Amino acid sequence: MAALGWLTPRKRSATARSVLAGEAAAEAGLKSSQEIDGVGTAPAGTAEPVVPDFPVIGDARAAAFFDLDNTVMQGAAIFHFGRGLYKRKFFQRRELARFAWQQAWFRLAGVEDPQHMQDARDSALSIVKGHRVSELMSIGEEIYDEYMADRIWPGTRTLAQAHLDAGQQVWLVTAAPVETATIIARRLGLTGALGTVAESIDGVYTGKLVGEPLHGPAKAEAVRALAAAEDFDLARCAAYSDSHNDIPMLSLVGHPYAINPDSKLRKHAKDREWRLRDYRTGRKAAKVGIPAAAGVGALAGGTAAAVALHRRRR
């Protein structure tokens, strides 16, 4: 059972590493947003006719911050990225099975435990170590088209577009690698992305992080740092997330939204009269807590996905 130690929940409080991760994410995000500006355009689609009572048109000191996994996109970006790297023979079936088990855990527990998230990042870091940043960015573009483009929630996409139409900046804030998040932001026509920053020297990944994964308190620190740099008034800003782990970020702004919320965030949002949006089907929304039987199915599904992918490769 020692090999499955990463399944054991562990608590982690905000630390100086959270601040470092947040500041690094803000710095990387600002640099990447300069590249995004004027490059990406919003894709045509069949977005739901959502008309939010916010934002305020012309309020340039307001901005919107969107979590990525299960808020903007169905599933975890790092898992989809892992599938793409496996297809390109960056790693073997054993590592793919680990990705599948980690993804199954997120679905089983219905939460994003910081230690589990870090284990997923560690797996990804070991895979990309020694590769050039430019190489992964190029591959990331292909992976977005293969696995992510069709998983964007139309309702959340419409909310983001409402902020853009109002003349406001819109940022992804995610534990996914900043390079992956930047690609998604560009493809969606957003301002930029704040994500986990992997250390690189002379354009080559070292296999280490700057600070820690951009998760929980680190997300709030990244938003705080970006707001200071861009002169945003957080009381006039909005934030959107599906996870109770993002309550620190949601609590920073004057307009917090719970999108496809897990059970803890749903309760927290209702207690504080935060706005809620659920773009899942009724059947999926009913499984926010995921009963034991459904959890077993999710676990089996994750393993089956790994096996199926391996068979297709053969």
Residues tagged active-site: 67, 69
Question: CB under 8 Å to 306, separation ≥6 — which residues?
Answer: 93, 96, 97, 99, 100
pTM of the model: 0.72
Q: Domain spans of the chain?
A: 18-34+55-102+116-277, 282-313
Q: Which CATH superfamily is domain 18-34+55-102+116-277 in?
A: HAD superfamily/HAD-like (3.40.50.1000)
pLDDT of residue 123: 67
For residue 74, what pLDDT band results from cuts at 50, 70 and 90? very high
**What pLDDT is stored for residue 297 in this prediction?**
30
Q: Is the pLDDT of residue 97 over 60?
A: yes
Give CA separation, 172 vs 17, 29, 127, 159, 246, in Å. 20, 9, 24, 13, 13
Cα–Cα distance measured from residue 47 to residue 42, given in angstroms and rounded to the nearest whole number: 12
Better-scored residue on pLDDT, 90 or 188:
188
Whether 307 shows a pLDDT value over 60: the answer reads no
Q: What tokens were used for 1?
A: 């059972």
* pLDDT top residue among 240 and 302: 240
Choose between 307 and 50: higher pLDDT.
50
Please state the rounded mean pLDDT for residues 268-295: 66
More confident residue, 45 or 82: 82
Higher pLDDT, 152 or 115: 152
Helix (H, G, I), strand (E, B) or coil at 246: helix
